[in-house]
Structure 1
Amino acid sequence: MPGVETQFADWAALAQHELLLFAAVFFLVGALDELAIDLCYLFGRLTGAIRTPRFELADAGALASRTAIFIPAWQEAEVIGHTIMHAARAWPQKEVAFFVGCYPNDPDTAAVVSRLAKRDKRIRLVLHDRAGPTCKADCLNAIYRAMAKDEIERGGDYTMVVLHDAEDMVDPAALNLMESEMHGAEFVQIPVLAMPLPASPYISGHYSDEFAEAHGKAMPVRGALGASLPGAGVGCAIDRQMLAELAAQQETDEPFARTSLTEDYELGMRIAALGGRTRFARFRDAADGRLIATRAYFPADLDQAVRQKTRWTHGIALQSWDRLGWQGGLVNLWMQLRDRRGPLAALLLALGYLLVAATTFGWGLYLAGWQEPVRLDPVLSSLLLINFGFFVWRVIVRAIFTAREFGWREALRAVLRMPVSNIITIMAGYRAVAAYLKGLPGGAPPRWDKTAHFHHPADVLGAKSPEI
C-alpha cells in the first residue's frame, strides 16, 4: 500500500497536470484572438484598408473650427505649465481657447494656470466650486459648464472640443489633423505615444510597448472593421453638438459620466451608440515623417503603475460591463470581449507563472532523485509547444511595433519588459476585482485616484521651459 507521501505526490502531479491543461487551453484561446488581430492588420496593410498616410500641414495659422481644449488638473503644478505653454506655442491659432480645470484646495496648480492666463488671453482658469479631488469626469463637466457660459458671453458656439491631460505634449499638426478628420465624423482619436523615460526603462518603458502596439495595430484594426472606438482621454476631438447630445442623455445634463472610472473609454462607445461616427486618425507628418500623436511620460514606479492599471481594469473590464452592457454586432462584441478580458488575463498569467515555478521545482526534485517528473500526455505536450510558438510570435510582433516608433534598442528592451508588463497586469487585475466587489453594495462616487507626474516630454525633447 502506497505511503502518504506517495499519495500526496500523485495528487500533486494530477493537480499540476490538470492546471497545466486548463491554462494551456485558455492561453491558446487568447493567442488565437491575438493572431486574428494580427491577420486582420496584415490583410488591411496589404489591401490598403489600414495605412498611415502623410498629413501636409499647409497652413498652421488657419483653423476653420472654433476649438475648445479641455484640460482637467488636480495637483499638477509640476507639469501643467509645460503642458499649457507648449500647447499654446504649438497651436497659435486665435480660434483656440484652453480651458484648464482646477480646484480651490489646489492653489499651486491654480496659481500656475492663473499666471499663464494673464500672458495669453486664450487660456482660461476654470475653478471648480467643490474641493478636490472629485473625479476626472466631474472636473470635465465643470469645464463644460464654463465653456457653455463662455459661448453665451462671447457669442457663438465652439465647433470642436479636444480633450487632453495635464501632462501631455501635443503635436503641432494634431489640431489641424483632427479638424480635417472631423468632416464625416463626430469623434476622432489620434494615437498616444508613451515616451520612454530614461529613469525608468522597464516600469515606465513597458507603456511604450503597449501603446505602440495598441495604437499601431489594434486601434487601426478596430477602425477598419467598423467597430466602435474607445476614447483614450487625450488627443481626442468631439463634435460640439454631439457633446450636447451626450449631456442631454444624462439626468444631470452633463456629457461626462461622473460615476465612471474610465469616462474617456466610454466616451467613444456612447457616441457610437447614439449613431455618431468614430474615427482613428493615424498619420505621419509630411515634413519629417514623425507620427502625429500625443506624447507623454507614464508612471515610473511600480505602485503608481499598478494604481493606474487598476483603475483602467476596474473601469473598462468590470464597470463598463455594468454600465454599457453588450452592444452592437459580432465585431463590436468581439472587441468588447477583448476590452474586458483583463481580470481573466491576470488570473491566467498568475497561474502560468505559478505552474512554471512548480514545474521547475519539480524537475529540480527529479534531478536530485527525490521525485518523478509530471508525465505530460501527447495532447498537453502539443498544446504547450503550440503556446510556446505563439509566445515567440507575440514577442516578435511587440518588438516590431516598438521598433517602428522608438528604434531597435527599445525593441530589445521590449522583450525584457514583457515580464514586467505581466506582473503589473496580475497585480492590477487582483486589485481591480477586489475594488469592484467591495463597491458592489454601496455605490460611492469614484474619486480621482490619479498618478503623480513630475516629468514632461518637452524637457527632454528640447522645448523651451516656460517661465511661470
Structure 2
Amino acid sequence: MLFDFFINYLYVLKYISLVLMFFLAIFGIDDLFIDVYFWTRKLWRKLTVYRRHNYMDANELLVKPEQPIAIMVPAWQEHGVIDKMAHLAATGLDYENYQIFVGTYPNDPQTQADVDNVCAQFSHVHKVVCAQPGPTSKADCLNNIIASIIEFEKKAKIEFAGFVLHDSEDVISALELRLFNYLLPRKDLIQLPVYPYARRWYQMTPAHYVDEFAELHGKDVIVRESLAGQVPSAGVGTCFSRRAVLRLSVEGDGLPFDVQSLTEDYDIGFRLKQWGMEEIFARFPVMGEDHVTLREYNIGVSKREGNVICVREYFPTTFNTAVRQKTRWIIGIVFQGMKNHKWTKDWKINYFLWRDRRGAMSNLGGFLAMLLLFQMVGLTLYSTFVPDSYHFLSLLSDDPMVRVLLYINFILFLNRTFQRAFFVTQYYGFWQGFLSFPRMVWGNIINFFANVRAIRQVVEQGDPRRVAWDKTTHDFPIVDDTIRRIPLGQILIEKGQITEKQLEQALMSKPVDMLFGTHLVLKRYITNEQLSAAIATQVDAEYQSCDPFELDPCIIERLPKTLALKYSVLPIKYENGTLILGCNKRLNPVAINVIKRQLHCEVTWVIITNGAVMLGLRYWYFNQQEENPAIKLDQAVVEKQLSLSKRQYVMDQYYASRMQLGDYLLALKLIETTVLNQAVLAFSRTLDIRFGDFLVSQQYVSSAAISAAMELKTKQEMSISQLIKAQGTTTGE
C-alpha cells in the first residue's frame, strides 16, 4: 500500500513538475532576453560609439562649475552609525558646494547626540528633527528634510540643483557629487550602482546581496534604461533634479514622498517617467590613480567595471533581518506597486512592470524547483546505490514534454549561473564569483520566506498600504574613535595650562561678542602660542610657530590670491615638492584637492600661530605693510616703554585679536556659519567687489550688520601703538 501511495505521489509530482518547469522556462527565457540584449548592445557600442569616441575621463567631471547639492539622510535609531557616515561624507567628498541634512526624531536622543557631534565639527552638516515621534516612515522623514532644506535655501540665498538620497550606512564615492553635478540639470533622476560589502566567505546571507546587486546594477538596470528610459531608484545613491522635486511637491500637496509607501524610491521613478522627465543609470568608471575609489582589490576584478563611482554599504547578516528587509521590498514593489501603478500603453514600461511583479511567482517557483531537485537527486541516488531498486524517475523522465522542459531549463539554468558569476567577478573577483553558485540556493530560501511573510502581512492588513515600515538595523564599515570634538577648555586643562577654576572664571567673564580663545589670551589666562597648540590638538593637526612677516616671497607667489583668500590659508614652506599651508582652523580635504589640482603639486597643511593667517594675508596679498608690528615693538623696548615680557604679551594681544569680517558677523550672531560658508563660495566667483558689499548686495546680511561688525572690529583690533600705550611705561627687566 505504501508503494501505491508513493507511485500516486510521483504522478502528482510529475504534473506539478510540468507546471513548474513551464513557468521556470518562461522566467528563464525572460532573463535570457535581457542577457542577449545587454551583450548585443555592449558589442554594438564597442564597434561603433567607442571607435569614434574615447571613454570619458574622470577629470572632465571637475571642469563644470559646482552647483549647490543637498544630501538627505533619514536616521531612526542609528546611534553609532550616523556620526561615522556623516563624518566620512563631510570629509571625503571631492566637492565643496553641498550640504548634508540628517533627519532625526524627537524620541531618539542618542541619534540626535551623534548628529550634534558631527554638526559641531562641520558647519555643512545639519540636524533635522521630524515633527512626529519615530518611527514613522523613510518617506515621512524625507519630507521633513525637504521642508528644512527649503528653509535653508531662503537663509543661504541659494537653490539646490540636486537632492541626493542616502542611508546612514552608506559609504560614498569621492566623485559622486561631481558626477551628479555634471549630469544636472539635464537629468531628473540619476541612479548610481550599489555594491554591498562582502563579509567572510561563509556568511551567505549578506553575500547573496552581493550577487543580486552585482547582476542587477551590472546588467539589468542598464537594459531597462536603454529599452524603456525608466530607472528604478535604489533609495541610495539617487539624485533628483530641482525640477523633479518641485513637481513631486506640487503633485503631493507639499509632500514629495508618499508616506504610505514602503519603497517610495521605486514609486518616484515611475512618476517622473510618466511626467516626461529624464532618468539615467550612471555607471562611470574611474581610471588611473588620481582619484580615490571604492574598488575591491581581488584577483579577477575588472579594470573598468570594478572601478565605478558607486555606493557601498553593509547589508543584513542574519536570516531574519534579511527576510524582514526583503519583505518590505516585495510589499512595496509587488503589492503596493500593483495598486499604485497600473499597466500603461507603453509595452516597454509594461514589460519591466511585469519583471518587477513576477517576483511574487519566481520566488515561490525557485524554492519549489529547489525542493523538487533535491527529491530527484535523492531518487537518483536510491536507484544507483540500492540493488534491484525501482526506477521511480522513469515515471517523469519517460514523458517527452518533461524531457524537453528539463533540457530547456537546464540550459537556461547554466546561462543564469554564468551571468550571475560573471557580473559578481567583474566587481568582486574570481573567488566571490565562484561562491555565487552555492549562494543561489540560500538566496532562493531567503526570497521564498520573504515572499511568504509579505503575503501574510498584506492579507492580515487587507491593504498593502497599511503595512508598517519595518526598519533594517545598519552597520557601518568605518570605525573611527577620533572624530569626537574635544572642547578647547578641556584640552587646556589636560595640558596643565589652565585650571578648572580659571576656566569657569573665563567662561563667566567672556563678552558675548568675542571668541573664547581670543578672550583667554587677552585676559592672560594663556599665551597665544598655547592657544594655537590647543587648536591644533582639537583638529588633530600639527602645530608650527610662524612669523607671517618673515616668509619667503617666492613661497607666497606659489599660491594665487584667490585661493589664499577663499580658503584663508597662508603658504609657509615648500619642501620636496610639497607646499605647506598655514591655517588657523581645520582645512577641508576638498580645499586641499582643489589647490593641488590648480598648483599641480602636493599640498599639506598645519596649524600656525593664531592670527598669523589674517595678518599674513593682509601683509602679502593686500600690501598692508603697517600690519607688521615688529619695528614699533622693538622701538618701544629700546625706549623702555615695554619690558620684554610685556612685549610678548602685546604681540599675543595683537595676533589674537585679528579676525576676518565673517568672524565678527559670527561673533555678533548676525549670520550662521553655514550661510557664511555658502556666501564665501558664491563670493569666490565674483572677487570684483569687497566681501562686505557682496554680503549686502546678495542680502545675506543688512548694511547695519556690516556696520556693527566693523564697529566691533575697530573696538577689538587695536593698533600696535594703542596696545603699547595701554601697557604704560616700564623700567625694563
Contact 2:64 2:182 in 1 (8 A): no
| 2:409 pairs with 1:412 | no
Distance 1:406 1:127, change over 3 A: same
Give, in angstroms, the shift of residue 355 of structure 1: 1.8
The aligned counterpart of 1:160 is 162
Structural mapping, 1:409-448, within 5 Å: 409-440=431-462, 444=466, 446-448=467-469
Q: Work out whether 1:304 is the aligned partner of 2:306.
A: no
Deviation, structure 1 residue 465: 6.3
Corresponding residue of 1:33 = 30
8 A Cα contact 1:398 1:414, kept in partner: yes
What amino acid is aligned across from residue 429 of structure 2 in structure 1?
A: G
Among 373, 376, 379, the alignment partner of 2:392 is: 373
1:195 aligned partner = 197
The answer to whether 1:260 aligns with 2:282 is: no
Which of these residues, 343, 347, 354, is aligned with residue 337 of structure 1?
354
Q: Cα 1:441–1:152, aligned 2, differ >3 Å: closer, same or farther?
A: same
Residue 400 of structure 1 aligns with which residue? 422
Contact kept? 2:266, 2:333, Cα under 8 Å: yes
- Please identify, of 276-285 and 369-378, the stretch whose mean Cα deviation from structure 2 is larger: 369-378
Report what 1:99 is aligned to: 101
Structure 1 residue 226 displacement after superposition: 3.1
User: What is the Cα deviation at residue 60 of structure 1?
Assistant: 5.4
| One-letter code aligned to 1:448 | W
1:354 maps to 2:356: no
- 1:17 matched to 2:14? The reply is yes
Tell me if the contact between 2:72 and 2:142 (Cα under 8 Å) persists in the aligned partners.
Answer: yes
Q: For 2:330, which of 300, 305, 313 is the aligned residue?
A: 313
Confirm or deny: 8 A CA contact 1:103 1:132 kept in the other structure: yes
Counterpart code for 1:399? A
2-side partners of 1:279 and 1:232: how far apart?
12
Residue type of the alignment partner of 1:11: N
Q: Give 1:169's match in structure 2, choosing from 152, 168, 171.
A: 171
Cα gap change, 1:464/1:105 in structure 2, threshold over 3 Å: closer, same or farther? closer
Structure 2: distance between partners of 1:90 and 1:199 = 29
| 2:408 matched residue in structure 1 | 386
Contact 1:283 1:291 in 2 (8 A): yes
Is contact 2:363-2:448 (8 Å) kept?
yes
User: Structure 1 residues 393 and 327 mapped into 2: Cα distance closer, same or farther (>3 Å)?
Assistant: same
1:90 to 86, 89, 92: 92
How many aligned residue pairs are there? 459
Deviation at 1:183, TM superposition (A): 4.2
Distance 2:214 2:381 in 1: 39
How far did residue 79 of structure 1 move?
Answer: 1.5
Pair 1:412–1:59, CA change in 2 (3 A): closer
> How far 1:59 moved relative to its partner?
6.9
Q: Write out per-residue CA displacement over residues 387-411 of structure 1, whole angstroms, 9 at most, x where no aligned residue.
A: 1121122111111101110110111
Q: What is the aligned partner in structure 2 of residue 64 from structure 1?
A: 66
1:294 is matched with which residue? Answer: 311
Letter in 1 for 2:276: G
Contact 1:60/1:173, CA 8 A, preserved across alignment: no
The CA deviation at 1:464 is: 8.9
Q: Percent identity?
A: 31
Instruction: Kindly indicate whether residue 41 of structure 2 is the aligned counterpart of residue 44 of structure 1.
Output: yes
Tell me what 2:600 maps to. Answer: none
Equivalent position SS for 1:76:
coil
- Evaluate the alpha carbon distance shift between residue 443 and residue 282 of structure 1 in structure 2; reply closer, same or farther with a 3 A threshold: closer
Task: State the SS of the aligned residue for 1:205.
Answer: helix
Instruction: Calculate the TM-score normalised by the size of structure 2.
Output: 0.60
Which has the larger Rg?
Answer: 2
* Aligned partners of 1:317 and 1:340 also within 8 Å: yes
Does residue 1:137 correspond to 2:161, yes or no? no
Is the Cα–Cα contact under 8 Å of residues 99 and 147 in structure 1 kept in the other structure? yes
Alpha-carbon displacement from aligned partner over 1:255-309 (angstroms, at most 9, x marks no partner): 0011101001112111111111101110111334521101111111111111111
Q: Following TM superposition, by how much is the alpha carbon of 1:174 offset from its aligned partner in structure 2, in angstroms? A: 1.0
Give 1:197 deviation, angstroms. 1.7
For 2:438 and 2:476, the matched residues in 1 are separated by 24
Question: Per the alignment, do residues 60 and 119 of structure 1 end up closer, same or farther by CA in structure 2, a change over 3 Å counting?
Answer: farther
C-alpha spacing 1:291/1:94, structure 2 compared with 1 (3 Å): closer
1:8 to 5, 9, 12: 5
CA contact under 8 A between 1:67 and 1:159: conserved in structure 2? yes
**1:203 partner SS:** helix
How far off is 1:363 after superposition? 4.3
The residue that corresponds to 1:81 in the other structure is 83
AA aligned opposite 1:415:
F
Structure 2 Cα separation of the partners of residues 428 and 183 of structure 1: 38
Tell me the residue number matched to 2:612. Answer: none
SS in 1 for 2:139: helix
1:447 partner amino acid: A
SS at match of 2:72: strand
Worse-matched range after superposition: 168-177 or 348-357 = 348-357
The separation in 2 between residues aligned to 1:199 and 1:247, in whole angstroms, is 45
SS of aligned partner of 1:285: coil
What is the letter of the counterpart of residue 170 of structure 1?
I
- Taking structure 1 as reference, are residues 172 and 351 closer, same or farther at Cα in structure 2, changes over 3 Å only? same
- Given that residues 173 and 285 in structure 1 are in contact (C-alpha distance below 8 angstroms), is that contact kept between their aligned partners in structure 2? no
Aligned residues of 2:80 and 2:114 also touching (Cα < 8 A): no
- Secondary structure of the 1:198 match is coil
8 A Cα contact 1:141 1:255, kept in partner: yes
State the match for 2:616 in structure 1.
Answer: none
Which position in structure 1 is the counterpart of 2:556? none
RMSD, matched Cα = 2.3
Cα 1:53–1:447 shift into 2, 3 Å: farther
Shift of 1:13: 2.0
Cα distance in 1, alignment partners of residues 469 and 55 from structure 2? 37
One-letter code of the match for 1:137? A
Q: Secondary structure at the match of 1:209?
A: helix
1:214-233 matches, within 5 Å, as 214-233=216-235
Change in CA separation of 1:384 and 1:256 when aligned onto 2, cut-off 3 Å: same
CA offset digits 1:347-378 (Å, max 9, x no partner): 21222123223334444665465655041201
| Aligned 8 A contact 1:37 1:221 in 2 | yes
SS at match of 1:101: strand
Segments of 5+ residues of structure 2 without an aligned counterpart are: 290-303, 486-733
Change (3 A) 1:407 1:121: same
Tell me, which stretches of 5 or more residues in structure 1 are unaligned?
A: none
Q: 1:53 to 1:132 in 2, by over 3 A?
A: farther
Confirm whether residue 284 of structure 1 aligns to residue 305 of structure 2: no
In 2, distance between residues paired with 1:80 and 1:442?
30
Instruction: Please give the alpha-carbon distance, in whole angstroms, between the structure 1 residues aligned to 2:34 and 2:339.
Output: 26
- Structure 1 position 16, deviation (Å): 0.8
For 1:386 and 1:167, locate their aligned partners in 2 and report how far apart those are by CA, in whole Å.
42
- 1:111 is displaced (CA, Å) by 0.5
Q: 2:161 touches 2:184 (CA, 8 Å); kept in 1?
A: no
Task: Tell me if the contact between 1:77 and 1:108 (Cα under 8 Å) persists in the aligned partners.
Answer: yes
Q: Which has the higher contact order (CA 8 A, sep 6+)?
A: 1
User: Structure 1 residue 222: deviation in Å?
Assistant: 1.1
Conserved? CA contact 1:326–1:333, under 8 Å: yes
> Could you state the TM-score of these two structures normalised by the residue count of structure 1?
0.92
2:236 match: 234
| Counterparts in 2 of 1:217 and 1:394: CA distance versus 1, 3 Å | same
The 10-residue stretch of structure 1 (312-321 or 352-361) with the greater mean CA deviation from structure 2: 352-361
